[in-house]
Copies of this chain bind each other. A is one copy, B any other.
């Protein structure tokens, strides 16, 4: 159907949105979970991970981060892997798709106009008290989802949430899904044992025995989740249009929350769009998680970085970075607007040269 695209599920959603007016909303959030040593690669030091979402969206809008002196990059084997924000920027600019930022609770706010859904960042999930009033975040986001339905025909929701696969694991586990050793990660080595231990400690401190599930859907988020998850669930449930959830295994936690809130929710209006680096990741299994939730198509894009001479982009091939800031969904959205994959990759290379 499109170059580099692998489809898990149906092509129907894709046909529905082809050529339609689209809008990209990047939801940003942080939790202090990302400060745990070794849990995420989304930042040069654990402390700097909280700057990554703001820096990413500033890079897309302003061409450079202004909240940080340095551009977020993952350094692996002496080579810097450029943030996936550069992929998102390239694809959206080529396809002239508008880009908006929504704050679901980021500790560091970006220096640009953004939509406030929730102000407060999440805490370390080991406390078992990760997020305050997840239902308020959800209800507020529903209002925005309704408004955005009036504004566009296809909403693409990306996210930037450091250590977000750990908090996704928390929500999935607390809701009763088998997700241990299945969530993705931002580094070649996926620290599954650490993630599981962190979630387990959080559940214990929240009074949720390991192996048991919470009765109230929002309790899972409040105990061991992050603010992005109820925000994106609210955006989806408040809207009435096709929505691409542009992200990796973190978006499965959003789907799990939606199903917990409304077990009859019709998932045919949604899809998950991601990169081949997530979908074919040997250290995780997005399909295994999704199958437990419902009939949700996954579209995985391969940006063909093996064709690129750029050293930074080549690091993606060994799993240094897999996804983020809706990179896979942005590429696919651009392709549904008639932009070729080769043009997108060339634009990514050009931006890499200009920015880094």
Q: Which positions in A face B, CB cutoff 8 Å?
A: 23, 61-62, 96-100, 102-103, 109, 111-117, 140-141, 143-144, 147, 150-152
Contact = CB atoms under 8 A, between A and B. Distances in A.
A100 B23 CA distance: 15
Nearest to A149: B98
B61 A98 contact: no
26 contacts: A23-B151, A61-B143, A62-B143, A96-B150, A97-B150, A98-B147, A98-B150, A98-B151, A99-B147, A100-B147, A102-B113, A103-B116, A109-B116, A111-B140, A112-B140, A112-B143, A113-B115, A113-B116, A113-B117, A113-B141, A113-B143, A113-B144, A114-B115, A114-B116, A151-B151, A151-B152
Contacts of A96: 150
A151 to B, nearest CB: 5
Contacts of A140: 111-113
Nearest to A109: B116
A239 B356 CA distance: 29
A61 B97 CA distance: 26
A108 to B, nearest CB: 14
Contacts of A62: 143
A116 B118 CA distance: 12
A303 to B, nearest CB: 24
Contacts of A23: 151
Contacts of A97: 150
Nearest to A112: B143
Contacts of A116: 103, 109, 113-116
Nearest to A114: B116
A62 B113 CA distance: 23
Contacts of A109: 116
Contacts of A147: 98-100, 113
Nearest to A100: B147
Contacts of A150: 96-98
Nearest to A117: B113
A2 to B, nearest CB: 23
Instruction: From A96, A100, A113, A114, name the one whose CB has the most chain B CB atoms within 10 angstroms.
Output: A113
A188 to B, nearest CB: 36
Instruction: From A62, A98, A109, name the one whose CB has the most chain B CB atoms within 10 angstroms.
Output: A98
A95 to B, nearest CB: 11
Given A102-B113, A103-B116, 17 more contacts: A23-B151, A62-B143, A96-B150, A98-B147, A98-B151, A99-B147, A100-B147, A109-B116, A111-B140, A112-B143, A113-B115, A113-B140, A113-B144, A113-B147, A114-B115, A116-B116, A151-B152
